[in-house]
Structure 1
Amino acid sequence: MASLGRLVVVKLTNAVVTLFVALFLISLIFSVFAQSTLKSRADEEAMMACRQMERLYTNPEEYEEACQALREQLYARYGLYDSVLERTIKLMKMNLKMDFGKARERYLGGTYDIKEQLIIALKNTIILFTTAQVIVSIIGILLGFAMARRPGSLLDRSLSLIAMITYSLPMWWVGLLMILIFSFYIPIFPAEAKEVYSAAAQVRSQFLNSFPYASMSGLSGLEIVKAALHNMKTSITMTLSVVRVWMYYMALPLMTVVLVAFGGWAYIARNLVISTLQEDFVITARAKGLPERRVLYGHVLRTASPPIVTYLALGLVGSFGGAIITETVFGWPGMGLLYWQAIQGSDTALVVAITYVSVLLFVTVILILDFLYVLLDPRVRL
């Protein structure tokens, strides 16, 4: 127990230190490179405000003084008079409190609040890439085990070739090819997924107009039960309709991610299982007459699980950050597309927030992964 407690303290300390150092570097870099952007933004706001109040002054000198005072106020608000270290510390405090401020544009959700935009983007990215990662891992592990059981067979050689081909293809190129085939030549799926919210809202509106919720005011006991059942049926049917809309818009990017990634997963699982099958404990288990299925899934999978879990966890946390090019190609409203829009709009505050959230998620998943190692392999705590 002492070794386990020491392990927990060490891992937590490492995670906190890593997060603090990463946050300091992020804040320092953006504090240095964002000064010119913030100065341009302050000058632009000052110029627009000065144009609006020009008619209020007849004396040119008073007008210039008012504009200069306004410009100085904006410089002070954006921290342009502070030193690099002061701006860095201020930015670190804001990020630690999850106070990201306002974005320059309403990129997602019709709001300027960065935190709300991040929540929407992160939810969409998790819906797409986490679903794809789970599908890819299941297919990859099953195919990898099948390949490892018969190394050198036709199945093994064929799937290995397919894995090398698919994993070497750029995902954005495959995405463009999928759009060309399934959106233009065979128009089954939409070319862009950015309309998913408006389509889902339209489905809800049409459904509620056709099957509105029943009011329960002034009803008797039996009528209340009937109304409640009607409302429950309406909610379930409407939810299923909205899910179908999301699946329709998500199908093309989901198929692209699975097509590109499943081969690499299968090949990695194959190599891990083949190396584990050479271990002495596997030979001993087979010599005892244990069924091959029990040897594979009871002994080999348990031993090979730490690297598999590592690959899965890193894939998941990498998916949380989104894929800039992939999401931009499909117009999927996730973290990658939001990152790209923030870079295009020189929105420093939003870029800092996305970067910090990505680092925070990465450090958190690595910390959870360290504790999972203890459960999968008790020797780690020693």
Structure 2
Amino acid sequence: MMAYLAQRVLQSLGVLWAVTVITFALLYLLPADPARLVAGRSATPEVVERVRHELGLDRPILQRYLGYLGGVLQGDLGRSYLQKIQVSELLASRLVPTLELTLAGVLFELLLGIPAGILAALRRGGWLDQGIMLLSFAGVAAPQFALGLLLLYVLAYKLALFPLGGYGGWEHLVLPALALGLAGGGWYARIMRSSMLEVLSQDYVRTARAKGLAGPVVVYKHALRNALLPIVAMIGTDLGTFMGGVVVVESVFGWPGIGQLTWQAIQTVDIPVILGAVTFTALFIVLANLLADLVYPLLDPRVQYR
């Protein structure tokens, strides 16, 4: 296990390095001029050049990247061009709302997707199976902003069951988490159905049924544990992605998370904040997938660390 863990950590570091290289290069190849945006539209060319020098934008791109990479290795993600504070402080101030939305969104995905997938598999070919698959396809295909606006209109504006947005108590969390859950729950339902059908066709399940075990016992004691294996990998990916911020959902609901911070930084070409958010997102995705890979053998002893 230790050899496997060391190998995966090295691979993860390679992925993170590649993400920083690609993101840095793309951002600094943009036609937008951050120095002009910081200085203001009415600034003279001399002022713009002075701002560019202060921000270090007049240095060669390789020198700037090495400086950024050295800072990252020391835990320094740089300073925001516009807000003049450390990017790490900005991300830390948005961490709790993002964590709350992440956990609630994944919970809704599991509560909606797993039972729906199991029911569809047990009623394969029937009207219930077809209905669940149709709804799951609609959830996957629908844009998140459309789901968010629909939820706001029906549940918040028309029925006044929840606030129209913002950040506060649990009632503010329900709609953005449900918007994530409806989209992700469709994927979970489809994957769960396929996995459950595959497991139910295995010899050990047929043997359990031949012994006279009740249907629920066969499904939930013998089949469900192995059928959940693909779900574990999806949870890891979703945890990492959501922790990096869900830009569309956070923007629609006015949720003060990392996704909203990233969107604001993109609009103002605040490169250090964009770089910091992307690096933060990549780190969580890598860690979540690594954790999922380590949990796999605990759920299924047939899977080995290698």
* Deviations 1:89-123, CA, capped at 9 Å, x for gaps: 111112232312332445xxxx8332222123232
Distance 1:259 1:15, change over 3 A: closer
1:376 paired with 2:299, answer yes
Distance 1:251 1:374, change over 3 A: closer
Q: Hey, what does 1:181 align to over in structure 2?
A: 154
Give 1:85 deviation, angstroms.
0.9
* Deviations 1:11-59, CA, capped at 9 Å, x for gaps: 122112222222233233334448x6344257659959xxxxxxxxxxx
- Normalization by structure 2: what TM-score? 0.87
**Larger displacement relative to structure 2 (251-260 or 10-19):** 251-260
Distance in structure 2 (CA, Å) of the matches to 1:87 and 1:27? 9
Give 1:357 deviation, angstroms.
0.5
Which of 287, 297, 303 does residue 364 from structure 1 map onto?
287
Give 1:307 deviation, angstroms.
0.9
* Deviations 1:319-344, CA, capped at 9 Å, x for gaps: 11222222111111112211111111
Q: Hey, what does 2:255 align to over in structure 1?
A: 332
1:121 paired with 2:94, answer yes
Distance in structure 2 (CA, Å) of the matches to 1:38 and 1:365? 33
Distance in structure 1 (CA, Å) of the matches to 2:284 and 2:258? 13
Distance in structure 2 (CA, Å) of the matches to 1:176 and 1:150? 33
Amino acid aligned to 2:290: L
Distance in structure 2 (CA, Å) of the matches to 1:337 and 1:42? 20
* Deviations 1:197-221, CA, capped at 9 Å, x for gaps: xxxxxxxxxxxxxxxxxxxxxxxxx
1:350 paired with 2:273, answer yes
Does structure 2 conserve the Cα–Cα contact (< 8 Å) formed by 1:42 and 1:75? no
Q: Hey, what does 2:211 align to over in structure 1?
A: 288
Give 1:370 deviation, angstroms.
1.8
Q: Hey, what does 1:29 align to over in structure 2?
A: 26
Q: Hey, what does 1:8 align to over in structure 2?
A: 5
* Deviations 1:304-361, CA, capped at 9 Å, x for gaps: 2321101121122121122222211111111221111111111111111101101111
Rg larger for? 1
Which of 42, 60, 64 does residue 83 from structure 1 map onto?
60
More contact order relative to length (CA 8 Å, sep ≥ 6) = 1
- Equivalenced residue count is 305
**Larger displacement relative to structure 2 (151-160 or 300-309):** 151-160
Q: Hey, what does 1:95 align to over in structure 2?
A: 72
Distance in structure 2 (CA, Å) of the matches to 1:136 and 1:71? 48
Q: Hey, what does 2:103 align to over in structure 1?
A: 130
Give 1:166 deviation, angstroms.
2.8
Distance 1:171 1:288, change over 3 A: same
Which of 115, 132, 144 does residue 171 from structure 1 map onto?
144
Query: What pairs up with 1:1-382 in 2 under 5 angstroms?
Result: 4-33=1-30, 37-40=33-36, 74-106=51-83, 112-193=85-166, 196=167, 245-378=168-301, 379-382=303-306
Distance in structure 2 (CA, Å) of the matches to 1:101 and 1:329? 28
Does structure 2 conserve the Cα–Cα contact (< 8 Å) formed by 1:182 and 1:188? yes
Does structure 2 conserve the Cα–Cα contact (< 8 Å) formed by 1:32 and 1:84? no
Distance in structure 2 (CA, Å) of the matches to 1:319 and 1:176? 19
Does structure 2 conserve the Cα–Cα contact (< 8 Å) formed by 1:31 and 1:87? no
Structure number having the greater helix percentage: 1
Distance in structure 2 (CA, Å) of the matches to 1:156 and 1:71? 62
Distance in structure 2 (CA, Å) of the matches to 1:172 and 1:323? 11
Give 1:184 deviation, angstroms.
3.3
Three-state SS of the structure 2 residue aligned to 1:100 is coil
Distance 1:323 1:72, change over 3 A: closer
Give 1:257 deviation, angstroms.
2.8
Amino acid aligned to 1:37: D
Structure 1 unaligned residues grouped into runs of 5+: 49-66, 197-244
Distance in structure 2 (CA, Å) of the matches to 1:96 and 1:266? 40
Among the aligned pairs, what percent are the same residue? 27
Distance in structure 2 (CA, Å) of the matches to 1:305 and 1:40? 52
Structure 2 unaligned residues grouped into runs of 5+: none
Amino acid aligned to 1:353: G
* TM-align CA RMSD: 2.8
